[in-house]
Amino acid sequence: MPRLSNSLYAYDISNNKQRRRALKQLRKVADVYQDSVFDCRLTKQAHQVLQGALLELLEPGEQVVYLALPANCDIEQLGTGMQPLGEFSLVIS
HSE (CB half, 13 Å, CA atoms) of 10?
Answer: 7
Which of 3.30.70.240, 3.90.870.10, 3.20.20.120, 3.40.50.720 would CATH assign to domain 1-92? 3.30.70.240
The pLDDT assigned to 78 comes to: 64
pLDDT, average across residues 65-86: 67
The pLDDT assigned to 71 comes to: 77
Q: Residue ranges per domain, the chain? A: 1-92
12 is annotated as contributing to ligand binding: yes
Q: Which residue spans within the chain are E strands per DSSP?
A: 5-12, 30-34, 37-42, 63-68
pLDDT tens, position by position, 28-72: 988 777 778 888 889 989 999 999 999 999 988 889 989 888 877
- Entry pTM: 0.71
CB distance 58 to 11 below 8 Å: no
Q: Flag whether pLDDT at 4 surpasses 50.
A: yes
Largest CA distance in the chain: 47
The pLDDT assigned to 31 comes to: 77
